Structure 1
Amino acid sequence: MNRRHLLGATAGLGAAASLGFNIRPAYAETSRLRISHGYGILYLPLIVMRDQKMIERQAEKAGLGTMELGWQTLDGGNVINDAMLAGSLDIAGTGSPGFITLWAKARGIPRAEVVGVAGMSSCALVLNANRPHLKTLADFTANDKIALPGIKTSLAAVVLQMLVAKQFGQENYARLDPMTVGLPHPEAAQALLSGKTEIAAHFASPPFSIIELNNPSIHKVIAASDVLGDSTLDVIFAQKRFVEANPRVMQVFLAALDEANDFIAKDPTAAAQAFNRITRTTATDEDVVKMIKDPDSRFSATPHGVMEYARFMHAVGSVRVKPDSWKDLFIPALHDRQGS
């Protein structure tokens, strides 16, 4: 290695150290990333990164050379967690509850431990229904099936439990669990709009919630923000050993994430176009811009309100381990931010 390359590598390692990563030799780091995101607007930062090739550009800028990206679209906490534990994913976007479930389950198991890489997003998560009698949570019966990406551990499933606990008491948090059916958002939206299946409701994020509500036969029952306010609904995580083995790659990833969030804030129209190119939904660019600008939409690497999920899930026995702080869940590079 000549002097110029040596100085460049040393500078890169210094930057990684300043972000709180454990430093390993550059030659040990991966040149290929396998990343997953879901379907809705909650995944917009990852979708923008994918469309605009921001990770590849940041890798070149950091002197890591060509980075090969393998993108997957996965929906539902159980599916994402299984893929991560099976070693077929390096980095994933998922609902905060699904991440907390895996964090608690894998804690203390060296080859399975996971860690939060960053917060990601919040949006208007809404329970929509196609049956007129479903006006409140109390109106649901065994015949009124609720579609959500994954039963019990997905974002929508846990948020539904939290809404139920607020209305009927914490001891009854699982009251609607028997009515839930695991379906990816696109399939759930189709089922709800058709009105010809057992699906009577869908806990949906934009654009699916908006598409559904554009149909006069669909109405809103309740929204997540009614209970959770401005909390981070989706986060980004990875296996702890992968993060520790690839400090410069993780530095590149965080730089690309910050770039994506800045891109979304400065040019919502371009972000909407990127979203539609990747997801190919039936929403127009104008529809997606409205979703991005919605007061409930927020895109940030800083996690907010994640401990609210952790405390609830521990209290009802969904997880056995409760973090003392949000910092227990996320990489040191985020610890100087105002998270919660």
Structure 2
Amino acid sequence: MSLSFNRPALTALAATFALGSLFSGAAHAEGKISIAQQFGIGYLILDVVRDQKLIEKHGQQQGLAIEVNWNSVSGATAMNEALLAGALDVVSAGVPPMLTVWDRTKGKQNVKAIAALGSMPNYLLTNNPRIKTLKDFTDKDRIAVPAAGVGFQSRTLQIETAKQFGNDQFKKFDTISVSLAHPDATAALLAGGSEINSHFSSPPFQYQALENPSVHKVLSSYDVLGGQATFNVLYTTQKFHDNNPKTYKAFYDALAEAEQIIKADKPAAAQTYIRVEQSKLPLALVEKIVADPEIDFTVTPQRTFIYAEKLHELGVLKNKAASWKDYFFEEAHGTPGS
């Protein structure tokens, strides 16, 4: 079953589930899991899991028939609302939004990450030939990001801004940031002539934009983080993790198998993405992205602790993590994470 919610509908759904939970007092019974993902190539691991029914496969290996409910949700805020209300069991978003909900639920719902979905760079792009570095941006420029001030791209920009201008200036570019979905921001960047002349993009959109000679890269998230780093993660509540050990194990094992499937046959993985996402992107472009050496579709978290440390230093996170294992459930601890 696959559902697609917009933000108001999902908020209403979350409220409904919240009321229901007051009376039921229980999460899903063992053998059921509802998963929400956003859109784009960053969710390829989930596409493979879904396409090959890997959760069901690993459940059967434990003697458990698992009912999987797939949902498409746009935006980390809607994801988090639904997760905390019990409308969804597992949600996905960038590392900073996950850390925010981990921080706010510590000692309560205790939300933690399950696994990474892969490491991939996000590029800050511009069509303004004058802009070569962050120091070239002025009040007249506008940077499109999916969630101004709080999303993955904004938090990454804030960390780099603090590095270059000082911690007290980390929000310097929030004033010229505009919330705009990646497809709309890409269209504005390519068309030119609007106030949006820059975009902190992500795959596949940055690849499309860079095919235009008027667009160039100013910064990569890998520059900020010092190398390959996790983009998106999956996360859930302590309650779901503890109450559904077999379902959780089947899900984690399915993710690990999907990683191996992608790495064993990247052209086939590209075809899976187009089929599952019903994408209209050219197959050659998707194959290029999946094969890009900068991208690693892995469940192992990479350089996530940089966000945890720096966002705590900047006052965004109240709780200080001792290591990445503080905000990942123990099933991931056996990986060489960071």
Runs of 5+ unmatched residues, structure 1: 1-26
**Secondary structure of 2:117's aligned partner:** strand
* 1:81 alignment partner in structure 2: 80
Quote the offset at 1:97 in angstroms. 0.8
Task: Give me the whole-angstrom Cα distance separating, in 2, the residues matched to 1:260 and 1:235.
Answer: 15
Over 4 Å off, 4+ runs: none
Query: 1:277 corresponds to which residue?
Result: 275
Match of 1:140 in 2: 137
Aligned counterpart, 1:241: 239
Q: Structure 1 residues 281, 74: CA separation in 2 closer, same or farther (over 3 Å shift)?
A: same
Residue 95 (structure 1) aligns with:
94
- The RMSD of aligned alpha carbons is 1.9
Residues 122 and 297, structure 1, Cα contact 8 Å, conserved in 2: yes
Cα 1:275–1:206, aligned 2, differ >3 Å: closer, same or farther? same
Task: Give the Å deviation of 1:230.
Answer: 1.6
Match of 2:24 in 1: none
Post-superposition offset of 1:127 = 0.7
Q: Which residue identity is paired with 2:71?
A: W
Give the letter for the 2:95 counterpart: S
Higher mean C-alpha displacement, 176-185 vs 279-288: 279-288
Contact 2:66–2:247 (8 Å) recurs in 1 = no
SS at match of 1:337: coil
Give the distance between the partners of 2:85 and 2:265, measured in 1 at CA. 37
1:263: Cα distance to partner?
Answer: 1.0
CA displacement 1:109-137 (0-9 Å, x = unmatched): 1xx32011112211121011122222221
> Is the CA contact 1:34–1:72 (under 8 Å) kept in the aligned structure 2?
no
1:28 to partner: Cα distance: 7.2
Letter in structure 1 aligned against 2:233: V
Structure 1 pair 28–224 and aligned structure 2 pair: CA distance change class (3 A) = closer
Structure 1 pair 186–151 and aligned structure 2 pair: CA distance change class (3 A): same
Indicate the SS of the match to 2:307: helix
- Distance in 1 (CA, whole Å) between partners of 2:144 and 2:30 is 38
Correspondence for 1:16: none
Q: Is residue 162–residue 170 contact of structure 2 (8 Å, CA) maintained in 1?
A: yes
Q: 1:59 — aligned with what? A: 59
Bigger shift: 212-221 or 31-40? Answer: 31-40
Equivalent of residue 166 in structure 1, options 154, 157, 163? 163
Partner residue in 1 for 2:33: 33
Deviation at 1:293, TM superposition (A): 1.8
Of 293, 309, 315, the match for 2:291: 293
Retained in 1: the 8 A contact 2:190–2:212? yes
Letter in 2 for 1:115: K
TM-score scaled by length of structure 2:
0.86
Deviation per residue, 1:197-254 (Å, 9 max, x gap): 3322111111110011112221111111112112222211111111111110010101
With over 3 angstroms needed to count, the CA separation of the structure-2 counterparts of 1:96 and 1:28, relative to structure 1, is closer
Which is worse superposed, 251-260 or 269-278? Answer: 269-278
46 and 201 in structure 1: CA distance in 2 versus 1, 3 angstrom threshold: same
- Is 2:115 aligned against 1:121? no
Deviation at 1:282, TM superposition (A): 4.2
Whether 1:179 and 2:173 are equivalent positions in the alignment is: no
Deviation at 1:33, TM superposition (A): 2.1
Q: Are the aligned partners of 1:78 and 1:154 in contact in 2 as well (CA < 8 Å)?
A: no
The answer (yes or no) to whether the contact 1:127–1:203 under 8 Å persists in 2 is yes
Q: In structure 2, what residue type is equivalent to 1:87? A: G
> How far is 1:66 from its partner?
4.5
Please identify, of 279-288 and 329-338, the stretch whose mean Cα deviation from structure 2 is larger.
Answer: 279-288
Which amino acid letter does the alignment assign opposite residue 172 of structure 1? Q
Partner of 2:149: 152
SS of the residue corresponding to residue 34 of structure 2 reads strand
1:304 corresponds to which residue?
A: 302
Matching residue of 1:43: 43
Q: Which one-letter code corresponds to 1:173 in the other structure? A: F
Cα displacement (A) at 1:196: 4.3
Percent identity for Structure 1 against Structure 2: 37
Structure 1 residues 28 and 189 mapped into 2: Cα distance closer, same or farther (>3 Å)?
closer
What TM-score do the two structures reach when normalised by structure 1? 0.86
Q: Note closer, same or farther for the CA distance 1:184–1:273 as it changes in structure 2 (3 Å cut).
A: same
- Corresponding residue for 2:68? 68
- Give the residue type in structure 1 aligned to 2:63: G
Answer yes or no: is the 8 Å Cα contact 2:123–2:206 preserved in 1: yes
- Residue in structure 1 matched with residue 324 of structure 2 by the alignment: 326
How far apart in 2 are the matches of 1:136 and 1:339? 31
What CA distance in whole angstroms lies between the structure 2 residues aligned with 1:79 and 1:179?
Answer: 24
SS for the counterpart of 1:121 is coil
Is 1:103–1:113's contact at 8 Å kept on the other side of the alignment?
yes
Gaps of 5+ in 2: 1-26
Paired residues, number:
311
